[in-house]
Amino acid sequence: MASDESLPTLKILMIGPSGAGKSALLIRYCDDQFDSESSTATIGVDFKLKKLSVHGKAYRLNLLDTAGQERFRTLSNSYYRGAHGVILVYDISNRESFNAMERWFEEAESNAMPGAVMYLVGSKMDKAGARQVKVEEGTELAERHGCGFCELSAKTREGVRKPFVEIVDAIVKNPQLLNAANRRAGTVAVGGGGGEGYASGCAC
């Protein structure tokens, strides 16, 4: 059986406003733990490694969680280099978070490499009682940008795997992106600008 280091590596960036739930989603998906993000915000960029099998083929995901604060935007832009996919996250209980997504799409489309797969996520589904953004609005925005969409809750685990499975499925169906992943197998970009980084391997 192939070692994790020999697997094709797919680089996936997670972006969106501060407090949208990016870190909580990443921690839930990789470690099956819940972090409310109420006490700390990502500084620069954090990353984790995750092994995921799609259609019987294993891939190593290099998942980068970027800071949403304006003062880190220049730093984050450098991390788009070589990214095969971008997951854009907003908070369904925060209208301002959703209204900012057009700007995030614009940033991703300007900085990501040609053919990179975009995927929109509405987080904090557990706050449905405080919902400020309708499912239909998220669906419409995703359709406008030609990307996948789902809502999920890192707190309850509902839907957490879906965006990762679907974005990887879309990436591996694109031969050019898949070839780029094969060339980068065994490499992980770390550091750059003093951002905090951490990595952990966890099989799906």
**Complete edge-to-edge strand list for the sheet that includes strand 148-151:** 45-54, 57-66, 9-15, 85-91, 117-123, 148-151
Q: How many CA atoms lie within 13 A of 16 on its CB side?
A: 27
CATH architecture assigned to 4-183: 3-Layer(aba) Sandwich (3.40)
Strands 85-91, 117-123: parallel, antiparallel or unpaired by DSSP?
Answer: parallel
Mean pLDDT of 188-202: 36
CA–CA distance, 202 with 192 (Å, rounded to integer):
24
- pLDDT tens for 151-180 read 999 999 999 999 999 999 999 998 777 665
> Which tokens belong to 114?
């040609």
- pLDDT tens for 115-136 read 899 999 999 999 989 999 999 9
What is residue 203's DSSP assignment? B
Of 30 and 196, the structure prediction assigns the larger pLDDT to 30
What local confidence, expressed as pLDDT, does residue 51 receive?
93
| Least confidently predicted of 21-30, 36-45, 120-129, 172-181 | 36-45
At residue 26 the predicted structure's pLDDT band, cuts being 50, 70 and 90, is very high
